[in-house]
């Protein structure tokens, strides 16, 4: 179609001398152009463009790409959430295709699943911790050193934070990363930790202002006074509180008491003997179960006590012996008379039967049940995620007071044992007293006194012992009855806490005065309350993280890279449930980085050819 050069280049001019003639000339040219075929064709093109046909086609094509790629992402996310191997990803894709779903052409391989998991994990971690950094909230770190199944030294890191912008009711412990340690010295751990924090936006300047405390176990590399991680942290960040995990200190206190009190090791050796006897021999376990069935009692599993596990597991073990006592005695009676066993085994069971039916053992069993029950309950309380410094200190003091009173008022288990010893019968079993005077029962007074001393020494005498004393003024139960006449109550403590955590001293004091009068925490005092709640009492969260790591790194997956393990742990621990996971934004960022979509036809598809077992094809056709 021929188009006028003047109209195409916007060079139309007018003719005539007067203005009336010029306007008439322009109107005539416009009228002629309006009826021209070129103008009509241009109008048609504009009308088609207004329909946005090309744009709609592109959007529809991109929408299909995102939709199908989102199915792939959701499948990979499900594999991680269910702790499945990456090889299961291909089977999951095959099942969905067999069910009639369109899963695209590519991104069906194991390597694609690994890349998708890394992409989702890094995106989630970046968004979450960018939110934390931008919110400018006080944070605490929980760290612990461990080893993977492939003997790689790692450092697990949690962040305890209270994000006020999200309306959180209490602080949460968020898994940050699992860091591979090329250097397991204090300097190596410290540098790896700082480098990892800096990679997510927590620079040294940010940590200087917002890092409150760091909790860890009592290893020398962590808490060494001369060259440990604590010393390096204090040099870099002088105001940071380095907190020795209360659960680990409780375990150390118990072990100190065990060493100081004679008789406990003999009791521990006997329980360990029972553990080995029934744990290493399925035959003995079946025989004990038959004895329990005969007596119509429920059998509990016997484990080790006062070992590397925490005291909560020790209480389960001794309470299992208490519960299984009748079945144990019956099994020892039958085993020592069993002619199919050799004389050595029969003699061993006879010795076990005499040991377990002695008055001394029953007294020791009752004493250990009472003590370990109290210790295990304290240990579980300290492991609570919402445990704060003040409440933890009160629970520890209460336990010390309980142990002091136990000297005069025995616990329920020990009272039952005393009654059984006086009657020489326990749970229907006749008891006897030992002839040996060098094997007396554990002395309750000495045992409780040592527990009290060592717990007070390790858990209360610390360089930061003043913090719970200052924090108690925030508890209304500690206020004077006529608080309106003591408006200056607690000012010294609030001032000390404000200086300790670099908060506005005057604002905190004014907020505390409002708290005294209104009985509700005002917004001015909230930063101090949240900072105290942010201090982690225990590093048990790291132990939970290592338990999750052991579920992921099975013997068949021991070759996983630490970065891959970290990505899997982050999605498993921090990621939302599968039903609430929205892969849309991760699919979009995936495609914006130049990755292929699931319907891309320029990439090689996964090879699905499987060679059947010779002769099985005919068998399968018959099924």
Tens-digit pLDDT profile for residues 595-608: 888 888 777 777 77
- Per-residue pLDDT band for 58 (boundaries 50, 70, 90) equals low
343 domain-assigned: yes
- Per-residue pLDDT band for 170 (boundaries 50, 70, 90) equals confident
Same domain, 402 and 332: yes
Same domain, 362 and 300: yes
319 domain-assigned: yes
The mean pLDDT value for 253-277 works out to 83
Residue with tokens 């808490």: 223
Nearest to 144 by CA among 74, 244, 232, 239: 244
575 domain-assigned: no
- What is the C-alpha separation between 378 and 370, in angstroms, rounded? 13
pLDDT at 462: 57
- Per-residue pLDDT band for 53 (boundaries 50, 70, 90) equals low
Checking if the pLDDT of 246 tops 80, the result is: yes
Check: CB of residue 73 under 8 Å from CB of residue 108: no
Q: Is the pTM of this model over 0.85?
A: no
Structural domain containing residue 487:
466-534
Percent of the chain at pLDDT exceeding 90: 33
Same domain, 268 and 242: no
Nearest to 597 by CA among 94, 103, 64, 69: 69
The mean pLDDT value for 91-109 works out to 91
Pick from 438, 459, 480: which residue ends a domain? 459
pLDDT tens digits, one per residue of 177-209: 999 999 999 999 999 999 999 999 999 999 999
621 domain-assigned: no
What CATH number does the domain containing 225 carry? 3.30.420
The mean pLDDT value for 85-112 works out to 91
578 domain-assigned: no
pLDDT at 27: 85
Same domain, 476 and 501: yes
Nearest to 108 by CA among 612, 596, 550: 596
264 domain-assigned: yes
Scored b (16 or more CB within 10 A) or e, 307-338 reads: eeebbbbbbbbbbbbbbbbbbbbbbbbebbee
Pairing of strands 211-216, 139-147: parallel
The mean pLDDT value for 340-368 works out to 89
**Cβ-based burial of 426 (10 A; exposed 0-12, middle 13-18, buried ≥19):** buried
Same domain, 237 and 296: no
Residue with tokens 């899997």: 568
95 domain-assigned: no
- What is the C-alpha separation between 123 and 125, in angstroms, rounded? 6
Q: Which two tokens stand for residue 221?
A: 């590399």
Pick from 392, 424, 459: which residue ends a domain? 459
Q: What is the sign, positive or negative, of the torsion defined by CA atoms of 340, 346, 348, 349?
A: positive
The mean pLDDT value for 336-344 works out to 85
Same domain, 413 and 329: yes
- What is the C-alpha separation between 82 and 78, in angstroms, rounded? 6
305 domain-assigned: yes
Q: What is the sign, positive or negative, of the torsion defined by CA atoms of 112, 115, 118, 119?
A: negative
Measure Cα distances from 567 to 151, 337, 447, 526 in Å: 19, 58, 47, 34
Check: CB of residue 317 under 8 Å from CB of residue 271: yes
Same domain, 142 and 219: yes
pLDDT at 437: 67
- Per-residue pLDDT band for 135 (boundaries 50, 70, 90) equals confident
Lowest mean pLDDT among 154-163, 172-181, 481-490, 496-505: 481-490
Checking if the pLDDT of 142 tops 90, the result is: yes
- What is the C-alpha separation between 142 and 134, in angstroms, rounded? 21
Same domain, 262 and 310: yes
Instruction: Provide CB contacts within 8 A for 321, sequence distance 6+.
Output: 271, 274, 302, 328, 365
The 3-class SS string of 1-37 reads: CCCCHHHHCCCCCCCCCCHHHHHHHHHHHHHHHHCCH
- Per-residue pLDDT band for 575 (boundaries 50, 70, 90) equals very high
**By 3-state DSSP, what share of the chain in percent is helix, strand and coil, each rounded to 5?**
60, 5, 30
Lowest mean pLDDT among 86-95, 266-275, 422-431, 539-548: 266-275
Average pLDDT in the chain: 86
Q: How many domains does the chain have?
A: 4
pLDDT at 79: 95
Per the model's pLDDT, the better-predicted residue between 565 and 618 turns out to be 565
Scored b (16 or more CB within 10 A) or e, 88-106 reads: ebbebbeeeeeeeeebbbb
- Per-residue pLDDT band for 300 (boundaries 50, 70, 90) equals low
The mean pLDDT value for 475-487 works out to 81
Check: CB of residue 509 under 8 Å from CB of residue 495: yes
- What is the C-alpha separation between 516 and 220, in angstroms, rounded? 44
Same domain, 199 and 238: yes
Beta strands in 148-244 (DSSP E): 153-161, 172-180, 211-216, 241-244
Lowest mean pLDDT among 2-11, 92-101, 359-368, 383-392: 2-11
Same domain, 364 and 263: yes
The mean pLDDT value for 441-446 works out to 88
Same domain, 454 and 560: no
Same domain, 480 and 548: no
Beta strands in 410-484 (DSSP E): 425-426, 429-430
């Amino acid at each position: 179609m021929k188009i006028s050069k003047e109209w195409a280049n916007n060079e139309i001019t007018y003719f005539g001398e007067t203005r009336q003639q010029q306007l008439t000339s322009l109107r005539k040219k416009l009228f002629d152009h309006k009826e021209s075929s070129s103008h009509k064709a241009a109008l048609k093109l504009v009308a088609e463009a207004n329909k946005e046909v090309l744009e709609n086609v592109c959007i529809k094509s991109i929408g299909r790409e995102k939709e199908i790629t989102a199915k792939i992402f959701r499948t990979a996310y499900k594999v991680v959430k269910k702790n499945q191997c990456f090889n299961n990803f291909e089977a999951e894709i095959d099942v969905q295709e067999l069910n009639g779903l369109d899963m695209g052409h590519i991104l069906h391989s194991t390597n694609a699943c690994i890349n998708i998991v890394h992409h989702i994990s890094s995106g989630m971690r970046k968004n979450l911790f960018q939110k934390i950094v931008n919110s400018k909230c006080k944070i605490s770190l929980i760290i612990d050193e461990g080893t993977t199944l492939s003997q790689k030294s790692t450092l697990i890191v949690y962040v305890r934070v209270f994000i006020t912008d999200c309306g959180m009711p209490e602080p949460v412990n968020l898994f940050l990363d699992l860091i591979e340690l090329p250097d397991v010295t204090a300097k190596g751990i410290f540098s790896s930790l700082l480098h990892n924090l800096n990679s997510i936006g927590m620079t040294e300047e940010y940590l200087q202002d917002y890092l409150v405390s760091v909790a860890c176990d009592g290893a020398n590399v962590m808490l060494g006074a001369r060259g440990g991680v604590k010393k390096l942290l204090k040099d870099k960040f002088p105001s940071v509180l380095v907190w020795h995990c209360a659960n680990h200190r409780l375990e150390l206190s118990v072990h100190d008491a065990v060493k100081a009190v004679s008789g406990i090791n003999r009791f521990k050796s006997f329980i360990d003997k029972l553990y080995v006897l029934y744990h290493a021999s399925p035959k003995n376990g079946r025989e004990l179960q038959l004895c329990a069935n005969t007596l119509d009692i429920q059998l509990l599993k016997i484990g080790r006590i006062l070992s590397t596990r925490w005291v909560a597991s020790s209480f389960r073990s001794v309470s299992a012996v208490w519960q299984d006592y009748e079945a144990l005695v019956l099994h020892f009676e039958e085993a020592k008379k069993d002619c199919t066993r050799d004389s050595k085994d029969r003699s061993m069971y006879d010795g076990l039967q005499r040991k377990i039916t002695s008055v001394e053992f029953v007294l020791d069993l009752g004493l250990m049940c009472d003590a370990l029950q109290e210790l295990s309950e304290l240990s579980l309380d300290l492991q609570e995620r919402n445990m704060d410094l003040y409440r933890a200190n009160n629970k520890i003091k209460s336990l010390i007071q309980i142990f002091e009173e136990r000297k005069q008022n025995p616990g329920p288990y020990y009272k039952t044992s005393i009654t059984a010893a006086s009657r020489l019968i326990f749970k229907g079993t006749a008891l006897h007293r030992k002839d040996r005077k060098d094997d007396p029962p554990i002395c309750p007074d000495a045992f409780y006194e040592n527990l009290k001393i060592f717990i007070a020494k390790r858990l209360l005498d610390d360089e930061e012992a003043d913090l719970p004393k200052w924090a108690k003024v925030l508890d209304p139960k500690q206020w004077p009855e006529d608080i309106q006449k003591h408006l200056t109550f607690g000012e010294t403590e609030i001032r000390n806490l404000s200086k300790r955590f670099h908060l506005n001293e005057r604002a905190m004091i004014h907020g505390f005065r409002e708290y005294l009068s209104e009985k509700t925490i005002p917004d001015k005092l909230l930063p101090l309350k949240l900072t105290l709640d942010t201090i982690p009492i225990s590093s048990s969260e790291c132990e939970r993280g290592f338990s999750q790591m052991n579920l992921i790194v099975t013997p068949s997956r021991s070759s996983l890279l630490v970065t891959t393990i970290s990505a899997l742990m982050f999605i498993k621990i921090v990621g939302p449930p599968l039903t609430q996971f929205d892969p849309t934004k991760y699919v979009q960022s995936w495609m914006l980085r130049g990755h292929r979509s699931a319907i891309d036809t320029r990439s090689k598809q996964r090879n699905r050819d499987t060679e059947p077992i010779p002769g099985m094809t005919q068998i399968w056709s018959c099924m």
